[in-house]
Amino acid sequence: MSKGIEVGPYNAHWPRQFDVEREKIAATLGTVAVRIDHNGSTSVPGLAAKPIIDIQISVRRLQPMEDYARGLVRLGYVHLPHPDDAFCPFFHRPNTWPHTHHVHVVQSGGDEECRTLAFRDYLREHASVARQYEDLKRFLAAQHNAADFSSQQAYAEAKGAFIEDVTQRALAQGYPHRIVRW
């Protein structure tokens, strides 16, 4: 019997866990990181989520990847090569499942940076949409196997249409409202 993906109740400690990790990343990457944001479900107060802190690091340029990858590796992150590396390289910690942290690197001022923050901010300000997302995640999580990588990917992809719809609404309404640079 496979174990479903864990989507648990919101944990008030997640923002602090992000803050601690942000400080480590900022100290390690220095000026390479233009900004470091808490994103994903753990960044939305009250939203149930997988207990994984999602972090978006904005950099001036994505290549060469070594500019930021070396520091992330020193912090215990592992790069997962993927076609998305062209616009959003992905790192996780620890090496094996379950992960505690996911890092998505994006270009500062680029579309991916804006899209991610627009989705997050929209959920933060629209509780009914956040509840719809939570319901979808719980439904899908029960159908997927946490121990199987392809099932984890299928879970993420199954949320795609909802995320894209909300992101487009958010962008059309001017989200994110402000992006503050360090």
Mean residue pLDDT of the chain comes to 93
Question: What share of the chain in percent tops pLDDT 70?
Answer: 96
- What pLDDT was estimated at residue 182? 47
Is residue 179, in this structure, part of any structural domain at all?
no
Cα gap 68→45, rounded to integer Å? 29
Strand order in the sheet with 101-107: 33-39, 53-59, 101-107, 90-93, 78-79
8 is a domain residue: no
Which pLDDT belongs to residue 180? 56
pLDDT in tens, 157-173: 999 999 999 999 999 99
Query: Which percentage of the chain shows pLDDT scores above 90?
Result: 84
> Tokens 């090496």 correspond to what residue?
95
Q: CA-CA distance, 159 to 176, in Å (whole number)?
A: 21
- pTM, 2 dp: 0.93
Residue ranges making up the domain that contains 117: 14-172
- Domain for residue 122, yes or no? yes
Does residue 69 lie within any of the structural domains? yes
118 pLDDT more than 90: yes
Confidence band (pLDDT; 50, 70, 90) for 1? very low
Q: Is residue 177 in some structural domain? A: no
Q: Is residue 146 part of a domain?
A: yes
Q: Which two tokens stand for residue 103?
A: 């890092």
The answer as to whether 6 is a domain residue is: no
**Which two structure tokens, joined as six digits, stand for 170?**
């958010």
Question: The CATH number of the domain where 163 resides is what?
Answer: 3.30.460.10
In a domain, 178, yes or no: no
Total domains present in the chain: 1
pLDDT at 7 over 70: yes
Rounded CA-CA distance 90/7 in Å is 21
